[in-house]
Amino acid sequence: MSDIAAGQPVPGEAHPRQGLRGGPSYLTAEHGLAAWFLTTDHKRIALLYAAALTVFFFIGGAGAVAIRMELFTPAADLLSADGYNRMFTLHGTVMVWFFLVPSIPNTFGNFLLPLMIGAKDLAFPRLNLFSWYLFVGAGALLVGALVAGGVDTGWTFYTPFSTGYSQSYVMAAALAVVLAGFSSIATGVNFIATVHLLRTPGMTWFRLPLLVWALYGTSLVIVLATPVLTLVLLLIVAERAFGLPIFDPALGGDPLLFQHLFWFYSHPAVYIMILPSFGVISELVTCFSRRQVFGYTFMVYAILWIAVVGFLVWGHHMFVSGQSLFASLVFSFLSFVIAVPSAIKVFNWTFTLYRGQITFEAPMLYALGFIGLFTLGGLTGLFLASVPIDVHVTDTYFVVAHFHFIMVGGAVSAFYGGLHFWWPKVTGRLYPEAWARFAAVLMFFGFSFTFFPQFVMGFLGMPRRYQVYPPEFQIWHVLSSSGAVLLAAAYLLPMGYLAWSLIWGERAGEDPWQATGLEWRTSSPPPRDNFRAVPVVDTGPYFYHPDKEGPRHDRREAHQNQGHET
């Protein structure tokens, strides 16, 4: 640890505020099952979501384990071709809709959004609880479909296979995803209304922490994109159940229409998955480099830019579908356009590090890993946005590697980083730092080991979604499957020591990281109503050093929390 590590007393720092503020913590305020399952407290609902998401993470992970085990050798060893299809469909549907889309918004977003803007709760607390029940109901329906025999269409439900040929439980899975979409929309509406109407006095739009901005942008995309997914899945159900000819070319329908509508949702959905992690990473990087976020306003504009332009790039999934070359070129251009704000964010994180007083606590290690992996994932996205390269690598492991770099190397790393960062706030306990650093480094290497070989074999021509392959690809698959073992260990390890810390962990103070957000000026864990007195804000976020000068290189400035009490 360097001599400027967090936790050392800093000259001029106010006495740390200890003790209970505003009554017993939200965890102990009420007891009994009903107090959890009928709660309208956003913090308890966040924990309910966390529990459900953990279950789905294991189910989706089981699909990944089956895939990587099968691919260890070129022959079909464990699974039939049909069984393999069902496994990657299970992995994709569960991970996309039941883990990644709700992961950061419904856990950290639910927990932190009201705290960060100084509110008592979300705008519609009962809607929030309702969305959890919808989500769990949808998950139960999906798991039911998977247990009954599974789905073999892939998470993309492409027609006409999904409407006319698949013999699996497509309708149940599609309806489960529709229900999960309703739950997403409810959360999105709730977040937008909360940010508009429940900011504490003085919390102007351009004083909002970047995580709040990221969740706001995400919610906009959720509210406007998800209904199109609902529509397209209902159309599939109508065609399968009632024989209404809409997509089936044998009946005169147009399967490309499905792809257009599907990707009109599913490309913005990528931003639903990654925008919240941008917010998390911004919070982590600024805190552990003791430096104001570089270019705060541009970070905000980048989020909004991504949210808007994300709706205009769906055609880059369809370069080989027969869409006109002109359309492909327009979508290609727009896909390059949307890379700009992502690049702005990466540069701004890097500039935030520049001349910062960086310490390497576990959340920061996850954040730094995120920046590296996201950059690689983003740059390979530009490869795929170029029509000629995309034609070469469409439906190969290159694509698989690209989106796993964004969604797993990016979004899941950010989830774990945020989990460590806010763990003291959520539970009131500190996690064991040495173990956490080990897990963070292990995740970076395990991830790279798993997915970097997939770029290589994809470029060499290994197609996705096959369980048998020519022997020359075996070396890459063995690398990938071996890395997946490390990656699995890196995911399981934190579950162990975080659970350990619940009982034996050191008690956390209000502000263990000396961070500036409003969530750090209440007790850990917070009381039911979040704050004893409503905090008032008169500065922007991230006040780690005086406005006009950078931090001194040799000692830490006293940080100043964004709020104060009246």
Partner 1 sequence: MSGEAEALREPWASLRRQREAASFGMWLFLGSEALLFGGLILAFSVNRLLHPDAFAGAGHETNVVYGTVNTVVLLTSSLAMAVGAEAARAGLRELALLGLSLTLALAVAFLVIKGFEWSADIDEGLFPGQAFKLAPPAAGIFFAFYWFMTGLHGLHVTAGISVIAWITWQAWRGERPLESPAFEAAALYWHLVDIVWVFLYPLLYLGGRS
Report the interface residues with partner 1, using CB under 8 A: 40, 114, 119-125, 127, 185, 188-190, 192-193, 196-198, 223-228, 230-232, 234-235, 238-239, 242-246, 251-254, 257, 261, 264
CB crowding 208-244: b at 16 or more within 10 Å, else e: bbbbbbbbbbbbbbbbbbbebbbebbebbbebbeeee
Closest distance to partner 1 from the beta carbon of 1 (Å): 41
* Nearer Cβ to partner 1 (223/382): 223
Closest distance to partner 1 from the beta carbon of 194 (Å): 9
Closest distance to partner 1 from the beta carbon of 425 (Å): 19
Closest distance to partner 1 from the beta carbon of 43 (Å): 13
* Nearer Cβ to partner 1 (194/359): 194
* Nearer Cβ to partner 1 (356/563): 563
For residue 224, the one-letter residue type is L
User: Do 118 and 289 touch, CB atoms closer than 8 A?
Assistant: no
Closest distance to partner 1 from the beta carbon of 113 (Å): 12
Distance between first and last Cα of the chain = 38
Closest listed residue to residue 514, CA positions, set 286, 324, 330 = 286
Closest distance to partner 1 from the beta carbon of 257 (Å): 6
* Nearer Cβ to partner 1 (174/232): 232
User: Do 424 and 467 touch, CB atoms closer than 8 A?
Assistant: no
**Measured CA distances, 28 to 44, 366, 526 (Å):** 11, 31, 10
Closest distance to partner 1 from the beta carbon of 243 (Å): 5
* Nearer Cβ to partner 1 (183/292): 183
Give me 472's structure tokens. Answer: 């020359």
**What is the widest separation between alpha-carbon atoms in the chain?**
77
* Nearer Cβ to partner 1 (191/374): 191
Q: Which DSSP string corresponds to 316-382?
A: GG-TTTT--HHHHHHHHHHHHHHHHHHHHHHHHHHHHHTT------HHHHHHHHHHHHHHHHHHHHH
CB neighbour list of residue 304: distance below 8 Å, 6 or more residues apart? 217
Phi then psi for 507, rounded to 5 degrees?
A: -70, 140
Q: Of all helices (H) and strands (E), which one includes residue 484?
A: helix 474-504
Closest distance to partner 1 from the beta carbon of 309 (Å): 17
Task: State how far the Cα of 189 lies from the Cα of 46, in Å rounded to an integer.
Answer: 16
Task: State how far the Cα of 41 lies from the Cα of 22, in Å rounded to an integer.
Answer: 15
User: Do 89 and 150 touch, CB atoms closer than 8 A?
Assistant: yes
Closest distance to partner 1 from the beta carbon of 110 (Å): 14
Closest listed residue to residue 383, CA positions, set 325, 444, 319, 321 = 319
Q: How many helices (H) and strands (E) does the chain have?
A: 17, 2
* Nearer Cβ to partner 1 (255/377): 255
* Nearer Cβ to partner 1 (114/139): 114
Closest distance to partner 1 from the beta carbon of 114 (Å): 8
* Nearer Cβ to partner 1 (111/398): 111
Closest listed residue to residue 524, CA positions, set 508, 513, 535 = 508
* Nearer Cβ to partner 1 (13/30): 30
Task: State how far the Cα of 454 lies from the Cα of 466, in Å rounded to an integer.
Answer: 14
Closest distance to partner 1 from the beta carbon of 129 (Å): 12
